[in-house]
């Protein structure tokens, strides 16, 4: 069932677990995530970056596909369709297209401008029943053209943005999109702790979920993280399973070249990754609690 992310994240924060945001790229991705969430009775957030939206021919296509698939598959668990790292213009496009949640990433603007634009979008989103995520500090690395230096967020700036009434807040705490380098310093729990103390009930968002060790994920959840974004890890599992299928020559046996057969191992691999993350985040069985 398509819903805003507001309720599921309030419950997650109160219940000390996190809801996974899994970024989607196409029909197979979407189907794998939705079926896994339903099977495990977990709430879920489908993340769509601006690049992925463009790849899928536009946000209207994405919203129409997700809505129809949710219905045709009989998905009853709460599902939010969420714009990931949205620009100001991208947010309006997704609102119009029928998304149930948006992220405005104003982290590259001076804080006053981030506040002003976030404030405007909070009013528009809430008026239409959508949830909204904002960002302070930046996520290191690159995702679909969004590049961040990875500086840690200032807890006072986080409070200023949280006070605007956003539903979830992404704060840079040393996290990085994509694979973590060997010399990664780890998450800054001092920063996260200070942010949670300033922002209280606000569900915090941990971007860059790929490759963060389990103990750090658990500690982040204990310090107020209620949403964790995973993108690269599903891509890696999909690619590995597809490579294995082709390297075994299975695409050349019988009708193994049929796209429904060729893409099946990758789709199953995404399901396994999503399941593993939901177990780690503690969201299994929480759909209707």
Q: Rank residues 167 and 233 by Cβ distance to ligand 13P and give the closer one.
A: 233
**Residues 38-77 within binding reach of ligand 13P (CB under 6 A):** 47
Q: Based on the shown chain and the rule CB under 6 A, indicate whether residue 133 belongs to the binding site for ligand 13P.
A: no
Q: Rank residues 52 and 245 by Cβ distance to ligand 13P and give the closer one.
A: 52
Q: Would you please indicate which residues are annotated as catalytic (active-site) residues?
A: 84
Q: Based on the shown chain and the rule CB under 6 A, indicate whether residue 230 belongs to the binding site for ligand 13P.
A: yes
Q: Which span (9-17, 129-137, 201-209, 267-275) binds ligand 13P, by CB under 6 A? A: 201-209
Question: Residue 61 to residues 35, 94, 99, 198, 259: CA-CA distances in angstroms?
Answer: 20, 11, 11, 39, 21
Count CB neighbours of 252 within 10 A. Answer: 9
Give the residue, chosen from 100, 229, 273, 283, that forms a contact with ligand 13P under the rule CB under 6 A. 229
What are residue 104's phi and psi, to 5 degrees?
A: -100, 115
Sign of the torsion formed by the C-alpha atoms of 30, 35, 38 and 42: negative
Name the nearest CA neighbour of 210 among 190, 238, 242, 191. 238
Residue written as token pair 């993280």: 225
d(CA 59, CA 42): 25
Give the residue, chosen from 6, 188, 210, 242, that forms a contact with ligand 13P under the rule CB under 6 A. 210
Give the residue, chosen from 78, 209, 224, 282, that forms a contact with ligand 13P under the rule CB under 6 A. 209
Give the residue, chosen from 188, 232, 237, 273, that forms a contact with ligand 13P under the rule CB under 6 A. 232
Q: Rank residues 47 and 53 by Cβ distance to ligand 13P and give the closer one.
A: 47
Give the residue, chosen from 82, 93, 177, 271, that forms a contact with ligand 13P under the rule CB under 6 A. 177
SS3 assignment, position 240:
helix
What are residue 260's phi and psi, to 5 degrees?
A: -70, -30
Name the nearest CA neighbour of 84 among 37, 23, 145. 23
Q: Rank residues 23 and 191 by Cβ distance to ligand 13P and give the closer one.
A: 23
Q: Which span (192-200, 228-236, 242-250, 259-267) binds ligand 13P, by CB under 6 A? A: 228-236
SS3 assignment, position 85:
coil
Give the residue, chosen from 50, 70, 167, 233, that forms a contact with ligand 13P under the rule CB under 6 A. 233
Contact residues toward ligand 13P (CB under 6 A) are 23, 47, 84-85, 143, 177-178, 207-210, 229-233
């Amino acid at each position: 069932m398509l819903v805003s992310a507001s309720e599921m994240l309030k419950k997650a924060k109160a219940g000390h677990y996190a809801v996974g945001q899994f970024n989607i790229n196409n029909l197979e991705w979407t189907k794998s995530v939705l079926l896994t969430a339903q099977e495990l009775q977990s709430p879920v957030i489908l993340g769509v970056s601006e690049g992925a939206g463009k790849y899928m021919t536009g946000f209207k296509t994405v919203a129409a596909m997700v809505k129809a698939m949710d219905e045709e598959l009989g998905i009853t668990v709460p599902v939010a369709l969420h714009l990931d790292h949205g620009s100001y213009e991208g947010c309006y496009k997704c609102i119009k297209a029928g998304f149930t949640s948006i992220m405005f990433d104003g982290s590259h603007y001076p804080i006053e401008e981030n506040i002003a634009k976030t404030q405007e979008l909070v009013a528009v989103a809430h008026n239409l029943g959508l949830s909204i995520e904002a960002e302070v500090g930046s996520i290191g690395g690159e995702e679909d053209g969004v590049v961040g230096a990875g500086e840690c967020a200032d807890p006072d700036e986080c409070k200023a943005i949280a006070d605007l009434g956003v539903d979830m807040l992404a704060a840079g705490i040393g996290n990085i999109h994509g694979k973590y380098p060997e010399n990664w310093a780890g998450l800054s729990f001092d920063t996260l702790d200070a942010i949670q103390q300033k922002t209280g009930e606000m569900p915090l968002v941990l971007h860059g979920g790929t490759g963060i060790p389990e103990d750090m994920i658990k500690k982040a959840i204990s310090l107020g993280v209620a949403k964790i974004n995973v993108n690269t890890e599903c891509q890696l599992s999909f690619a590995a399973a597809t490579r294995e299928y082709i390297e075994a020559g299975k695409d050349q046996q019988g009708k193994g070249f049929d796209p429904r057969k060729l893409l099946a191992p990758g789709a199953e691999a995404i399901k396994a990754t999503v399941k593993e993350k939901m177990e780690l985040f503690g969201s299994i069985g929480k759909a209707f609690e």
